[in-house]
Amino acid sequence: MKTEAISASEMKAIDKNAVYFGMSPLQLMENAGACVSDVIFNYLNPGGRSQILKTADSANDWVIFFAGLGNNGGDTFVAARHLSGQDIRSMIILLGEKAHIKTEESQKNYALLEHDKNVSLFEIRSESELENFFLENEKIIGSDSCGNSRIVLVDGIFGTGFLGPAKGLEKKAIDLIHSQKKNKNVFVLSVDIPSGLEPEPKIKSARHSRSKDSIVVADATVTFHQMKTFLQAKDAAVYTGKIFVKPIGIPFAADVCFGPGNLENLYVRDKKSHKGDSGKVLIIGGGPYTGAPALAGMAALKAGADIVTVAVPKPAFEAVAAFSPNLIVKKLSADILCDADLPVLSVLIAAHDAVVIGPGLGADPKTISTVSKIIPLCKKVIADADALQPEIFEIIQKLKLQTKLPKNKDPAKEESEESKPEKTRTEKAGMEKTEIILTPHRGEFLRILKYLKFPKAEKFEESDLEELVLDVCRRLDVTLLLKGPTDLISDGKRIRRNLTGNPAMSVGGTGDVLSGIAGGLFTKNSAFESAGCAAFVCGCAGDQAFLKAGNSLLATDVILEIPDVFIQASGSDFQQKKNESGKNKRTSKQNTDSSKQNTDSDSKDGTENEISEESEMDEDRQEKLMEIMKRIKPKSQKSKIPPKHPNPEKNLFMK
């Protein structure tokens, strides 16, 4: 079990990624509901399965599920079915009509209960109906009538989809749960989160200001997959009771890789937003090359930026300006980027949210020296391609030390070199940090390792790669996107991978597309999310482009696919499809191996090839995952403490 806690939106991303990697939402709900039923079963049978004692009183035990219309309610339908299979009877109090159950999987699970002799279903439409229902069923639910039999009240009213406050029928249900708490035979179990507790309140103080009586006060909460930060918050303990974290079979890849779920946590445009509010990107590139900055600029626009300005040395101006009327193009003063451009660029940098520097710049020493002066001026900067030089790593390291100075010190006063042309942004703005993303390929990464004098810089084991990436991020205080067949993304605290993309993307220009997408996202999102989501989107766009172009794929083809990737990822059925990937592979073979196909009389209809190639593609993905698994050091296993009691729920349930 993982020990670190995650936020509600991180959990939502993992859930969606699980579906992308092949799990169905129905499976996830089944596993979640089964966990809930296990906790209830263990409460009712503390001796474990081998010692189920059906006494006269235990025959009167009841499990009462309060179910909302979302998936949290869906979990309770599954739990009721599992308990029924063990002859534990329950009633479902559905807060609304079954026709209004919100999701397909929840509806399916409700329908499965309709002929279950151990489960009584009640659709409750109003507060007064709920009150009457309680009065009518007082013998079962009423506090004074339980004798020694036990009542488990299960709170499946709201889960992570809740936005407070609770009102009306749901609030009434919470009140009724509270009214039963005084009965010592009543045990309240919340599913995923005590209902009424907002996992991510829009106003941070909301949770504290909300009165206690609109949140379920549970004896225990069963949450799924991993501990949640909002359940660990100081003010939450009073509501959660004991927390059980139960695995629901999230696949390995969903946990360790970027996927469409991560895109859901990116910045969403405000309905009232004006031009520029959704991000302004400045691309500084070109000179010796003309295509790279144009590609990065177009990719930044397709990734959602409102405004993209491309600042290029003279020789690249006309080509970039002619590339697309969507780009604003600024002509710099010379044939290459140089110090004379600093005054103009510092104004441009201040007017943009994020800067991408490097594509097509060339590595002239004058240019690199200017880049080293530009980086400290930026709020957010992505250094790519030619900008990945030792002089730049040095300035990044200096920036790290600078931001470590105490906040009340004014570094500008301590600066002795009066001749310095531009004050760094850090100096101007107090100690605000420059956020940096580096996007090296393997060769550029080795350059960083050498600069940092890593003992293993010349030759390292593949199994050490992830630790090296984490270490580089910590030493330079940057976010790193190490490009490769499997991309590695780290901010020094965490590391995730990206599996999308294909070998045809080794064509020139795709790196510029990637840094452009990252630039577009970085304007409004964290460095880590921007880098990881950019890698995922770029790879998916490349995979889609490959379906059409095979090995004739161009960087411009990848750009054209970016919008479709965002649209598909926002749907619920975006899956990594084996068949489509299989087609990828076939197209690749057709392009590279057509002569062999023409003479191969055995595979007349191609069926044989199809099957083997699909499984081959599957193997590709499996191989990447195996590599990742080998690299991940099983920390959690080492620190695993054996449970004190084989049935830990037992101790808790003794009131």
Ligand X SMILES: NC(=O)C1=CN([C@@H]2O[C@H](COP(=O)(O)OP(=O)(O)OC[C@H]3O[C@@H](n4cnc5c(N)ncnc54)[C@H](O)[C@@H]3O)[C@@H](O)[C@H]2O)[C@@H](O)CC1
Q: Which of 155, 353, 466, 649 binds K ion (CB under 5 A)?
A: 155
Nearest to K ion by Cβ — which residue?
Answer: 195
Smallest distance, Å, CB 53 to K ion?
Answer: 30
Smallest distance, Å, CB 191 to ligand X?
Answer: 5
**Interaction partner, residue 429 (K ion, ligand X, none; CB < 5-8 Å by kind):** none
Q: Is 159 annotated as a binding residue?
A: yes
Is residue 155 within the footprint of ligand X (CB under 6 A)? no
Q: Is 164 annotated as a binding residue?
A: yes
Instruction: Spell out the alpha helix ranges (H) of 421-499.
Output: 425-428, 442-451, 465-476
Q: Which of 45, 103, 160, 190 binds K ion (CB under 5 A)?
A: 190
Cβ neighbours of 462 (radius 10 Å) = 9
> Closer CB to ligand X, residue 476 or residue 569?
569
**Interaction partner, residue 387 (ligand X, K ion, none; CB < 5-8 Å by kind):** none
265 forms beta bridges with: none
Smallest distance, Å, CB 196 to K ion?
Answer: 9
Smallest distance, Å, CB 157 to K ion?
Answer: 6
Q: Which of 355, 330, 345 is nearest to 280 (CA)?
A: 355
Instruction: Spell out the alpha helix ranges (H) of 222-310.
Output: 229-232, 237-240, 252-256, 260-264, 291-302
Is residue 159 within the footprint of ligand X (CB under 6 A)? yes
Is residue 191 within the footprint of ligand X (CB under 6 A)? yes
Instruction: State how far the Cα of 88 lies from the Cα of 148, in Å rounded to an integer.
Output: 16
Q: What separation in angstroms does the CA of 44 have from each of 58, 148, 193?
A: 8, 12, 21
Q: Is 160 annotated as a binding residue?
A: yes
Q: Is 162 annotated as a binding residue?
A: yes
Site size toward ligand X, by CB under 6 A: 28
**Degrees, nearest 5: CA angle 637-642-647:** 125
Q: Is 178 annotated as a binding residue?
A: no
> Closer CB to ligand X, residue 173 or residue 559?
173
Q: Report the amino acid identity of residue 69.
A: L
Is residue 69 within the footprint of K ion (CB under 5 A)? no
Site mask, ligand X, residues 193-232, x = CB under 6 A? -------------------------------x--------
Cβ neighbours of 125 (radius 10 Å) = 13
Using the rule CB under 5 A, give the single segment among 192-200, 424-432, 573-581, 597-605 that binds K ion. 192-200
Q: Is 511 annotated as a binding residue?
A: yes
Using the rule CB under 5 A, give the single segment among 87-95, 147-155, 289-297, 324-332 that binds K ion. 147-155
92 forms beta bridges with: 65, 121
Q: Which of 66, 68, 487, 562 binds ligand X (CB under 6 A)?
A: 68
Read off the DSSP letter of residue 359.
T
> Closer CB to K ion, residue 160 or residue 502?
160
Is residue 278 within the footprint of K ion (CB under 5 A)? no
Tokens standing for residue 278: 């959704």
User: Contact, 300 vs 308, CB < 8 A?
Assistant: yes
Q: Tokens 């079962």 map to which residue?
A: 140
Is residue 198 within the footprint of K ion (CB under 5 A)? no
> Closer CB to ligand X, residue 101 or residue 281?
101
Tokens standing for residue 196: 């009424």
**Degrees, nearest 5: CA angle 87-93-96:** 145
Classified as helix, coil or strand, 497 is: strand
> Closer CB to ligand X, residue 11 or residue 151?
11
Helix and strand numbers, DSSP H then E, in the chain: 29, 16
User: Contact, 89 vs 113, CB < 8 A?
Assistant: no
**Interaction partner, residue 190 (ligand X, K ion, none; CB < 5-8 Å by kind):** K ion
228 forms beta bridges with: 6
Q: Is 241 annotated as a binding residue?
A: no
Cis peptide before 165 (omega within 30 of 0): yes
Is residue 77 within the footprint of ligand X (CB under 6 A)? no
Is residue 162 within the footprint of ligand X (CB under 6 A)? yes
Tokens standing for residue 274: 């004006």
Instruction: State how far the Cα of 347 lies from the Cα of 337, in Å rounded to an integer.
Output: 16
Read off the DSSP letter of residue 432.
P
Is residue 15 within the footprint of ligand X (CB under 6 A)? yes
Contacts of 240 (CB under 8 A, 6+ apart): 190, 193, 194, 197, 218, 220, 221, 231
Smallest distance, Å, CB 260 to ligand X?
Answer: 13
Q: Is 393 annotated as a binding residue?
A: no
User: Contact, 259 vs 285, CB < 8 A?
Assistant: no
Q: Is 70 annotated as a binding residue?
A: no
Binding residues are 71-75, 155, 159-165, 192, 195, 292, 360, 441, 511-512
Binding residues for (6S)-NADPHX are 71-75, 159-165, 192, 292, 360, 441, 512
Q: Which chain residues interact with ligand X by CB under 6 A?
A: 15, 25, 28-29, 32, 68-72, 74-75, 102-103, 158-164, 166-167, 170, 191-192, 224, 248
Q: Which chain residues interact with K ion by CB under 5 A?
A: 72, 155, 190-191, 195
Binding residues for AMP are 511
